[in-house]
Structure 1
Amino acid sequence: MWNYSLILPDFIILFTFLVYYFAHPRLPIKLNRRFLFILIVNIITITSDVVSSLALENASYFSSCALRVFNTIFFFFFILRSLCFFLFIEDVLDLHSKRKSLLSLIKHLVFIFSELIAFSNFFFDTIFSISATCIYTRGSFYNLIYICAFYYLALAFLQILFHRKKVASPLFVALLSFNLVLSVGYIFRILFPQYLVMNFFALLSIIIIFITFENPIYFLSSKTKAFNKSALHAILKEYECKRSPLVLAFVIRNYNELREIYSPAQMDRGISLISLFLMKKYPRLLLFYLRDGRFVLMGQDNSKSDKIRESDKIREEISMRFSHGWRAGSDVDLYLEPKFVQFADGIDFSNSKKISSALFAAFKEAENLESVNILITDETLKGIEETTRIKRAVEYAVENNSVEMFLQPLMDSKDYKLAGAEALARIRDEKGNLIPPGLFIPIAEKNGRINSMGEQMFEKACEFIHNHDIAKMGISWINVNLSPIQFLRPDLNKRFSQILEKYKVPAEKIHLEITEESMIDYALLQKQIQSMRSSGFQFVLDDYGSGYSNVSRLKRCPFINVKLDMEIVRDYFNAPDKILPTMVQTFKQMNFTVTAEGVETLEMVESMKNIGCDFLQGYYFSKPLPAEEFAKKYGIQ
């Protein structure tokens, strides 16, 4: 009556997955528990399908009551399987909420109603009927199992499409694929009821889930048996602090240098030994290895005393073990020093991104400090939150072309009249307040937005020159800053030249400021400057004295102006000596004009004028002003 040819392979593969699941380290996260539940439900569903089908084929050996029980159990798990796959999708998309929505209520009502109908078959002929002579026939509610299944599939497709931005493209395709496979399986079951084929399609969906989401290799470090960075993000994402968490991290001091000294093979052996020690010593804790000598232990804090935290005790034990060498070979002992990172009491772990950012920031700090213990506090998390807020502001400003151009005047030291201006980038937060450039510029450089931001500033400066009579203001040029990252672009000359052409602005009206950081790669500096000078651009060296000052290299660079960093200007004003005046005269003999930044008082202005500075810039004359406000203030000249 029924074809069982696919059942045995289904069983073998499902049990293989089950064995594989328990044979490898698994994160105690909801997604893994859901996958295990899917495996168990599918095994029970296939078993009950075979048992009920065989019982019906051999009805003479069973009572009608037994046949009714076998088939009712099958339909119960058949319906449950539909829900399991849908809930797995919700876990992947992270759609669970503490507040129960109407949609969530309807979802469970459909399941409960369907299961009640299935259970009612113990007493009534709803989904199927068993006659007194043990003849099986479909009941009036039989198609409810398909209605329920396609309801969950339709809901799943809607959720996947609506929340597609929550997952990467390969995961999005995988979610669509295994739902499509399930849909085909249900259609085949409707068309070919004599074949027990639905279980095969469910198995195909499980294989897709395993390959994409559940392969433990994705969450394990290749050098150790510890979990990796992806696993740490996954466990933090759903960490629930019902009890105080224990999080202890450490990084091996000077790891990369030691890797060169001891050799990569020996350091890898040492890392494996450290991992093995930690897993054996603390089996109840999860161990993560995050590369570059970074380890994290995580679990629940079982401290019995408020005075002695368990993490402190573990830290002391690990320090004691590190006081001895790690045998990485027959005659090689690695002597390593751990630098610890701990969380202060009462830290809120509900925001996984903030906790993860704080942890990696602390690792970086530990690598650069002599301290052997760094404590992450609420202030640390507030700093992370502030950085995140600024990142959002940078993203919004760049994507919406809302980086504002402020202008600060450059005054001629001879008559204190306006000679030029410097274009300065400004962005605002969600409340409209200006964010200091010292906060957003480093973030824009790290996340790669500085290129777009710098190009916006260059274009806004060109637009300003196009729309205003800068000669009437007394301005001969506007300085635009180039970050070291932006200066690396090989197409910088082409892009800037196109913008100049767009606004019909002569290249000599824009002076490009670069800092001493850009001079580290001298060959690239020369190549880029020569390329852009051929298009008419002129260059200014900004913040001289704040970095790698080198007069001999300046002599070979075609700068037209050198801007003295405000710190050396202040230092000279507070304690005059012969160094700065000599330096200014040297620049002038090299045919550079000199600008003093940060002049804030009349005394500083006169002091910089007396030592020979050609231009002056600072709050004494004006703070940076919004472009249009600057135009109104100086447009009458």
Structure 2
Amino acid sequence: MTYHYEFTLAAGIVLAMLCIFAFSRTYLATRRNFSFRCLLAADVITMLFDVISSEMDMRHAEFSLGMLYLVNAVFFLGFIWRSFLNFAFVEALVRERCTGLRLPHHIAFLPVALTTLIVLASYWTGWIFSLDAGSGAYKSGPLYPLIYGNGYLYLILTAGFIVASLRHTVWTRLELVSLIGSCLLIGLGYIVRMHSSPYLVMNAFYTLEMLLIFFAFQNPDLFFSRRMNLFNADAANVCLRELYQGGPFSLLAIAVNDFEENRTLYGGHQTTKGLRLIADFLRQKFPDCYVAYMDEGRFLVLTGEPLDFRQVCHEINERMKLPWHASHVNIYLNVHYAVYRGRPEPGILPHMLDYTASSLRRAEQTNEVVHMGTECFRRMEYEREVRQAIDRAIRDDSIEIYFQPLWGVGEQRMIGAEVLARMNDPVLGFVPPSVFIRTAEQSGTITQLGEQVYEKVCIFAKHHDIKKLGLRRLNVNLSAIQCRDNLMSERLNAITVRHHLTFDIFKFEVTETALVYPDELQGNMDRLIAKGAVFSLDDFGTGYSNLIRVSRSPFKDVKLDMTLVREYFQKKNRLLPSIIGAFKSYGLHVTAEGVETKEMVEELSRLGCDTLQGYYFAKPMPAAEFLQYLAKKNILTR
């Protein structure tokens, strides 16, 4: 028989390139990557000995019987082990995503082990193949179909694992197409090989399958941050799953303090250089650990070994006292930490990186090392449930609006109301605004939430004439995240026009945080002011604003945070009169929050506040109760 190598030669070139790329790049030391490299090695051996054994069988008279048996046996061993390793790779991949989904090792290994023994025994039995003692001619044995049976068995197991995983995890479209495509390719390859013996085509099908696997799962660039020369967040997720399989692990999370401010101070280019120097430092300090960069100045160190967190954090802090030299610039950075040692519950693992990010935010606020544990996970699990509640509220349009009246000092009556969002979730019940608003900002859903609130405010104003209620304007809160959106004003305008309203009945409150992005905020403010809206700076005294910065922005009103107001009456802070006087000198109206007593009303009125808000007048209330409240106060005009 004459064999044809055209397909094998083409596949061999592609396989060689895959090997060079796979074995020369930095890889995670995970079971999945080890299986893939073994699969590559098995394919190389199988392809090489497929050609060698075929060529030697055609010229069997030139070789000894022992040599012919050896090369044919190696080919068959490579053939059956390649099927097993292909299954092992998919099993390892699925186990990364589905912790509890696995096949006992002895069951998975048994078929290939038995087939291996049968192949090796063929030297004496001729079960798989035999060689004529006189001529050395090759002949298939009675159990030769077992070779294909072994392949089909592992192909069925592979497909079964993929189908089972669909109940436990979500694959991307590329991943799912690659997994299904790889099974179809191998199945087709077996069929073609059985009916085209002279053509060595099976290697080509396996090479195509590994190309699919490589592009979907094994490309090192999927798990590597070239900018920092470290593993990325996707790699960290894989590492966590791998370490979890082995028992307790250590996690050290490190984040740069005030990352955005540092980037503004030093510039993006110089900050990146400083982060690279930190990355190099961490890689050298933890040579036996996984070190990953999580973006926005956050690093992660993972290892299965215990870490002395106190000592490690101390050493890193000592290094942080020194500057990071980058292109003639000394960059000074400080960091905060979140740490963990143990083996979390299976339900915690998929969210471990999110919980770590939340812990780092808390560490920056408290200036303490956050030790993640059961209580911490419980709190962050609640935050995750809140995110789900927000998604439900947005989907069902179930956010409620409440109104808290605003007392006009000069008018001695209610002249407006602040509209506040409230969430009553069917699963969690009442969720405090401080919780769900902060969570919505962190999860990126605050824009949708804010627009739904504004829509409800417009519906209220459409059915109840604000002027006839004796009110000048309704105050609507805008998140700092919303203010960064250049299209915010257009969307708010579209909602207003849809309900046949004008902006002259609205006052938009923005917090000091929005001033960090002056260009976007200014553009949105200018467009809405041109249509009749006015703006108020909310919660002054809790951020980084100063009088000059506020005076240069087109605010008509400044609302003093209740903390600043209460500290004045508790005699902890006597700056309030000066602050009010300064704002009044700039022609700004001043609103005081947190008014709870008659004494506070009289004193704040004396100091020059124009508007007062607080429980002394009324708590936030739903629309129907708010209308009754106004009627009771005789504010409605007849």
TM-score, structure 2 length as denominator?
Answer: 0.74
Is the CA contact 2:249–2:343 (under 8 Å) kept in the aligned structure 1?
Answer: no
Deviations for 1:228-280, whole angstroms, at most 9, x for unmatched residues? 4443332113322755534456678999699889978996895586467436x
Counterpart of 2:353, as a letter, is S
Is the CA contact 2:129–2:138 (under 8 Å) kept in the aligned structure 1?
Answer: no
**Structure 1 97/528 Cα, relative in aligned 2: closer, same or farther at 3 Å?**
closer
Counterpart of 2:34, as a letter, is R
Matches within 5 A, 1:252-291: 274=281, 277-278=284-285, 282=287, 284-288=288-292
> Percent of aligned pairs with the same residue?
30
Question: For residues 534 and 324 of structure 1, what CA distance do their matches in structure 2 show?
Answer: 50
Question: For residues 287 and 241 of structure 1, what CA distance do their matches in structure 2 show?
Answer: 19
Task: Give the CA deviation at 1:563.
Answer: 3.0
Task: Give the CA deviation at 1:456.
Answer: 0.7
Which runs of 5 or more structure 1 residues have no equivalent in the other structure? Answer: 303-308
Question: For residues 505 and 219 of structure 1, what CA distance do their matches in structure 2 show?
Answer: 51
Q: State the partner residue of 1:85.
A: 86
Q: State the partner residue of 1:306.
A: none
Counterpart of 1:528, as a letter, is N
User: Residue 243 of structure 2 aligns to a residue in which SS?
Assistant: coil
Instruction: Verify: 1:448 aligned to 2:444, yes or no.
Output: yes
Task: Give the CA deviation at 1:109.
Answer: 8.2
Instruction: Verify: 1:166 aligned to 2:171, yes or no.
Output: yes
Counterpart of 1:31, as a letter, is R
Is the CA contact 1:79–1:111 (under 8 Å) kept in the aligned structure 2?
Answer: no
Matches within 5 A, 1:189-588: 189-220=193-224, 222=226, 227-240=231-244, 242=246, 244-247=248-251, 274=281, 277-278=284-285, 282=287, 284-288=288-292, 297-301=301-305, 341=337, 343=339, 346=342, 348=344, 351-352=348-349, 354-357=351-354, 359-360=356-357, 375-376=371-372, 378-413=374-409, 418-428=414-424, 431-468=427-464, 474-519=470-515, 527-547=523-543, 559=555, 561-575=557-571, 580=576
Is the CA contact 2:95–2:101 (under 8 Å) kept in the aligned structure 1?
Answer: no
Is the CA contact 1:412–1:419 (under 8 Å) kept in the aligned structure 2?
Answer: yes
Q: State the partner residue of 2:33.
A: 32
Question: For residues 328 and 525 of structure 1, what CA distance do their matches in structure 2 show?
Answer: 33
User: Residue 240 of structure 1 aligns to a residue in which SS?
Assistant: helix
**Structure 1 95/506 Cα, relative in aligned 2: closer, same or farther at 3 Å?**
same
Task: Give the CA deviation at 1:422.
Answer: 1.6
Question: For residues 72 and 231 of structure 2, what CA distance do their matches in structure 1 show?
Answer: 43
Question: For residues 346 and 157 of structure 1, what CA distance do their matches in structure 2 show?
Answer: 30
Question: For residues 538 and 588 of structure 1, what CA distance do their matches in structure 2 show?
Answer: 17
Question: For residues 506 and 334 of structure 1, what CA distance do their matches in structure 2 show?
Answer: 53
Q: State the partner residue of 2:618.
A: 622
Question: For residues 145 and 347 of structure 1, what CA distance do their matches in structure 2 show?
Answer: 38
Question: For residues 46 and 612 of structure 1, what CA distance do their matches in structure 2 show?
Answer: 88
Stretch deviating more after TM superposition (549-558 or 235-244): 549-558
Task: Give the CA deviation at 1:458.
Answer: 0.6
Deviations for 1:395-422, whole angstroms, at most 9, x for unmatched residues? 3333443322222223445786544322
Q: State the partner residue of 2:189.
A: 185
Counterpart of 1:195, as a letter, is Y
Counterpart of 1:278, as a letter, is K
Stretch deviating more after TM superposition (186-195 or 350-359): 350-359
Counterpart of 2:539, as a letter, is D
Stretch deviating more after TM superposition (245-254 or 450-459): 245-254
Instruction: Verify: 1:598 aligned to 2:594, yes or no.
Output: yes
Is the CA contact 1:248–1:340 (under 8 Å) kept in the aligned structure 2?
Answer: no
Question: For residues 320 and 569 of structure 1, what CA distance do their matches in structure 2 show?
Answer: 40
Task: Give the CA deviation at 1:180.
Answer: 5.2
**Structure 1 54/626 Cα, relative in aligned 2: closer, same or farther at 3 Å?**
farther
Task: Give the CA deviation at 1:457.
Answer: 0.8
Question: For residues 336 and 579 of structure 2, what CA distance do their matches in structure 1 show?
Answer: 46
Q: What is the RMSD of the two structures over their aligned residues, measured on CA atoms?
A: 5.4
Counterpart of 2:239, as a letter, is I
User: Residue 301 of structure 1 aligns to a residue in which SS?
Assistant: coil
**Structure 1 125/376 Cα, relative in aligned 2: closer, same or farther at 3 Å?**
same
Task: Give the CA deviation at 1:356.
Answer: 3.2
Stretch deviating more after TM superposition (170-179 or 509-518): 170-179
Question: For residues 52 and 298 of structure 2, what CA distance do their matches in structure 1 show?
Answer: 53
**Structure 1 197/134 Cα, relative in aligned 2: closer, same or farther at 3 Å?**
closer
Task: Give the CA deviation at 1:435.
Answer: 2.3
Task: Give the CA deviation at 1:450.
Answer: 1.8
Stretch deviating more after TM superposition (512-521 or 478-487): 512-521
Counterpart of 1:461, as a letter, is V
Aligned residues: 621
Question: For residues 577 and 359 of structure 1, what CA distance do their matches in structure 2 show?
Answer: 36
**Structure 1 618/58 Cα, relative in aligned 2: closer, same or farther at 3 Å?**
same
**Structure 1 531/265 Cα, relative in aligned 2: closer, same or farther at 3 Å?**
closer
Counterpart of 1:35, as a letter, is F
Matches within 5 A, 1:21-60: 21-46=22-47, 49-50=50-51, 53=54
Task: Give the CA deviation at 1:148.
Answer: 4.5
Question: For residues 536 and 161 of structure 1, what CA distance do their matches in structure 2 show?
Answer: 54
**Structure 1 528/327 Cα, relative in aligned 2: closer, same or farther at 3 Å?**
closer
**Structure 1 321/349 Cα, relative in aligned 2: closer, same or farther at 3 Å?**
farther
Counterpart of 1:489, as a letter, is D
Question: For residues 629 and 265 of structure 1, what CA distance do their matches in structure 2 show?
Answer: 54
Question: For residues 45 and 485 of structure 2, what CA distance do their matches in structure 1 show?
Answer: 61
User: Residue 623 of structure 1 aligns to a residue in which SS?
Assistant: coil
Which runs of 5 or more structure 2 residues have no equivalent in the other structure? Answer: none
Task: Give the CA deviation at 1:566.
Answer: 1.8
Question: For residues 298 and 232 of structure 2, what CA distance do their matches in structure 1 show?
Answer: 10
Instruction: Verify: 1:4 aligned to 2:5, yes or no.
Output: yes
Question: For residues 293 and 545 of structure 1, what CA distance do their matches in structure 2 show?
Answer: 28
User: Residue 244 of structure 2 aligns to a residue in which SS?
Assistant: coil
**Structure 1 604/148 Cα, relative in aligned 2: closer, same or farther at 3 Å?**
same
Question: For residues 272 and 597 of structure 1, what CA distance do their matches in structure 2 show?
Answer: 46
Stretch deviating more after TM superposition (499-508 or 340-349): 340-349
Task: Give the CA deviation at 1:481.
Answer: 1.0
Is the CA contact 2:506–2:533 (under 8 Å) kept in the aligned structure 1?
Answer: yes
Question: For residues 45 and 553 of structure 2, what CA distance do their matches in structure 1 show?
Answer: 78
Question: For residues 580 and 334 of structure 2, what CA distance do their matches in structure 1 show?
Answer: 48
Is the CA contact 2:567–2:573 (under 8 Å) kept in the aligned structure 1?
Answer: no
